[in-house]
Structure 1
Amino acid sequence: MMKKFVSLLLMLTLLIAGCGKNESADSNSEDAKTLTLWSVETEDKEVVEKAVEEFNNTHADLKINAEFFDDESLKTKMKVAIAGNKLPDLFTYWSGDTFQTLVETGLVGDITEQINEDEELKSNVLPGGFESFSFNEKTYGIPLGISAVSLWYNKEIFEENGLTPPSTYTELLEVVDQLNENNITPITVAGKDRWPILHWYSYLAQRIGGTEPFEKAKNGEIDFTEESFVEAGEKLKELAVNKKGFVNGFLGLDYAAAEALFLNGRAAMYLQGEWALQAFVKNKEFAEKVGFVSFPTVEGGKGNKDIYHGGFGIGMAISANADQEAAFEALKFLTSAEQRMGIYETGDISPMKNVELDQSKMNPLVYEYSNYINNNVEGFFGYYDQNLDSKRADQFLNTSSAIVAKPDIDVKKELSKIVK
């Protein structure tokens, strides 16, 4: 009887000790600071979640709780959070005027000092990366990726017709002429969506006048009837209308229909961002036919062929109310090339210089394009419709479409309609 009592007492003692240990473990878990992340990267959720899991497993005192939203849902969620001054500790957001507004209202944490103290991180981001999330010489975010618009072409069509990818506007017109002579559609464009036409206009304006005229017009120092803008409009009209460079009926084509013409080999060229890679690589045989070049220069123009339309469209920032040291530690970890490699291997372009991509895991076209952008881009100029106020952005979209609608259109008159 005594033996049973002693055994029972020993079991109770062990049980109580075990409970004490569990209680202690729970207490330690509760002591860890939890950081909330709101992310718009729904398509890359799996990669981000893996990074969050690794962070949580390697940081006993810090934990990240990630939530994912589509674009519009995040915007709505942020508006509510801003109204209640309850932003998440970390969040992804788009560069530009809206992000600047968050900064100016004191809602975003200043990470300038941390960046300056980390020479490896500071020197590894491509030119313009930190600048896209900087205001008044202070930095507020780290870029997550690059958007770059390139001129894609069908190598098979070019080879069969003895053509070389154009490097100048004059060469582009010559290629268009030869393709038309051979009854091949030179360029496919989603005119119904407007912004693909604006890509063409913006590139021509930059190649002619450089980036300075747009910045001055944006700030109200000049208007869009300045000489380089008018010349860009005239050249766009020449290419699209007079030379019949754009596919017949392009003003009625939406994005899917226009892209399908390129994917089906029915158009020789396509001006589009790196996001088009996902459609190209779905068909391995087609992807092998795709080549790319930077947008052609304009003879006598100020624009550099290695300056691309696009930039660092999305980044990650921290709330001004967050624990700045803890939040930056998480921010640096989540934005590192090592943690985002799975995203870059599918076609998103890394904003970091020193990225060791695993070629065996990538489509050859994606690998080639990623390496080219990382090694050759000297800078970016932003999308006109995203860098202007909403009123002028819509006016510009309408104007660029109007310029290519009729052969007798008055380009300068159309551009004069873009006003605050």
Structure 2
Amino acid sequence: MKKMAIALLAFAMVAVAGCGSPSSSSNGNTGANTGAGKENTAGGDGNVTQLTMWSMETRNRSIIEKSLAEFNRDNKDVQVKAEFFEDEALKTKMKVAIAGNQLPDIVTYWSGETFDTLVANGLLGDLTSYLDKDAEFKDNVLSGGLETFTYDGKTYGVPVLFSGVSLWYNKEIFQQNNLTPPTTYNELLQVVDKLNANNVTPITVAGKERWPLLHWFSYFAERVGGTEPFEKAKAGESDFAADSFVKAGQMFKEMAVDHKGFVNGFLGLDYAAAEALFTNERAAMYLQGEWAMESFLGDDFAEKVDFVPFPVVEGGAGSVNVYHGGFGAGMAISSKTNQDAAYKVVRFLTSPEQRKEINEGANISPMKNPGLDEANMHPLAFRYDNYISKNLEGFFGYYDQALDAKRAEQFLNAVGAIVGKKDADIPSILAAIK
């Protein structure tokens, strides 16, 4: 049964489509060691615990490598070598590691169903006692951060970021067309119609990647019915053909297809091409997470960018200050490694001091007191971080991470089907997710 569970987990790791932030194109290793927490004798220095770490934070690689160099310099008894992978490459790497029972000692991975399965199969170490003895650090984590990685009262991960998806817009295009950013669904339709009438592409989206489309549907669903319908459907207490999901699908189709809100050919557009339309000022709006700021901050274009929360639906149960996202990634350790040594590394790398440079860029810190220096930050990044910190009421997770692999894949296909045809049978499409 154990072998079967691990085989099924390995399959799930490949099947699930993560919605983590897109990474840069850099790759390569700073060392490789697929064994768990090995101790080697180093001359007269005694035992040295050698640890490996896998991470998908490729865009923060240089900063993390500086932290690792500092750790290795100051901790001669524990030495860490890191490997960085693009999103899909890490999923594949983890699949092989699970099948071979050779997890890395430390891994930065996405929260959600796959993380849950790793815990359920006893593959991750319990960090509860370490955190309980480290109250100052534990209490500094934003509400919901450690809870995201807690199962049956035990915590298995420390969050490394908070993600919040917002509606980014080009201020200059809006001014030229006498528009104000939409705060309601009806206002969104009016903005779309006005932009189309003026031959301006309203919204760019990477339909080929599917998960950016799911952002739109998920927000409509939350704004219509709140977060409860999804939690009930996830638990099997209802299904995704419930009224709030059907209405969300109808609004999604109305905006994207009937009002031609999305750029022509969006179903064949990949992430890079979709983002380029916004950064090259050929589309007025772009729904994406804070990671998108990475492409905004490098030049004068950032001066033209602003953001608003996703619009509310009149009469809906959702709140404008509930964000799609959450604590999307955390750092965990293998249950088979040297627990003391591995936690020491995790505690160091996730500290506000070591994450400061990362969080002063296009990221949102998961800490209440991240120690950010406004003078070091781009005004847009500081404004975004500050806005969410002050206004956040709650969050709801990425559907394709929160669901099991089968339903996640079905949902990703469903959102494309909803906006793929003018006569799409939305209730039937959603009812097929089970």
Counterparts of 2:396 and 2:371 in 1: how far apart (Å)? Answer: 26
* Residue 208, structure 1, aligned to residue 224, structure 2: yes
Structural mapping, 1:8-407, within 5 Å: 27-282=43-298, 284-407=299-422
Answer whether contact 1:127 1:378 (CA < 8 A) is retained. no
- Counterparts in 2 of 1:61 and 1:250: CA distance versus 1, 3 Å: closer
Shift of 1:91: 2.0
Aligned partner letter, 1:55? F
Aligned partner letter, 2:147? E
- Helix, strand or coil at the partner of 2:352: coil
Shift of 1:86: 4.0
Shift of 1:276: 1.4
> 1:73-131 deviations in whole A, cap 9, x for unaligned?
44444444444544333222221222212211212111122223333222221232112
- Counterparts in 2 of 1:35 and 1:170: CA distance versus 1, 3 Å: same
Answer whether contact 1:145 1:349 (CA < 8 A) is retained. yes
Counterparts of 1:263 and 1:339 in 2: how far apart (Å)? Answer: 30
Counterparts of 2:104 and 2:313 in 1: how far apart (Å)? Answer: 46
> 1:276-331 deviations in whole A, cap 9, x for unaligned?
1112223x221100000111111121112121112222211122223323322221
Answer whether contact 2:292 2:362 (CA < 8 A) is retained. no
Counterparts of 1:347 and 1:261 in 2: how far apart (Å)? Answer: 19
Q: Which of these two proteins has the greater Rg computed from alpha carbons? A: 1
Which region of structure 1 is more displaced relative to structure 2, 350-359 or 288-297?
A: 350-359
- Counterparts in 2 of 1:38 and 1:258: CA distance versus 1, 3 Å: closer
Please list every run of 5 or more consecutive structure 1 residues that lacks an aligned counterpart in the other structure.
Answer: 1-24
Which region of structure 1 is more displaced relative to structure 2, 366-375 or 63-72?
A: 63-72
- Counterparts in 2 of 1:162 and 1:105: CA distance versus 1, 3 Å: same
* Superposition TM-score, scaled by structure 2 size: 0.84
Counterparts of 1:399 and 1:75 in 2: how far apart (Å)? Answer: 23
- Counterparts in 2 of 1:246 and 1:86: CA distance versus 1, 3 Å: closer
Shift of 1:174: 2.1
What is the aligned-residue identity percentage?
62
Aligned-residue Cα RMSD (Å) equals 2.2
Answer whether contact 1:350 1:374 (CA < 8 A) is retained. no
- Counterparts in 2 of 1:77 and 1:256: CA distance versus 1, 3 Å: closer
Counterparts of 1:237 and 1:72 in 2: how far apart (Å)? Answer: 29
Answer whether contact 2:112 2:403 (CA < 8 A) is retained. no
Answer whether contact 1:128 1:380 (CA < 8 A) is retained. no
Counterparts of 1:139 and 1:88 in 2: how far apart (Å)? Answer: 19
Match of 1:408 in 2: 423
* Superposition TM-score, scaled by structure 1 size: 0.87
Counterparts of 2:382 and 2:369 in 1: how far apart (Å)? Answer: 14
- Counterparts in 2 of 1:26 and 1:263: CA distance versus 1, 3 Å: closer
Which region of structure 1 is more displaced relative to structure 2, 36-45 or 159-168?
A: 36-45
Shift of 1:377: 2.3
> 1:218-274 deviations in whole A, cap 9, x for unaligned?
222111110100110111122112222222332333323322221222221111122
Answer whether contact 2:160 2:329 (CA < 8 A) is retained. yes
Shift of 1:26: 5.7
Counterparts of 1:395 and 1:176 in 2: how far apart (Å)? Answer: 29
Please list every run of 5 or more consecutive structure 2 residues that lacks an aligned counterpart in the other structure.
Answer: 1-40
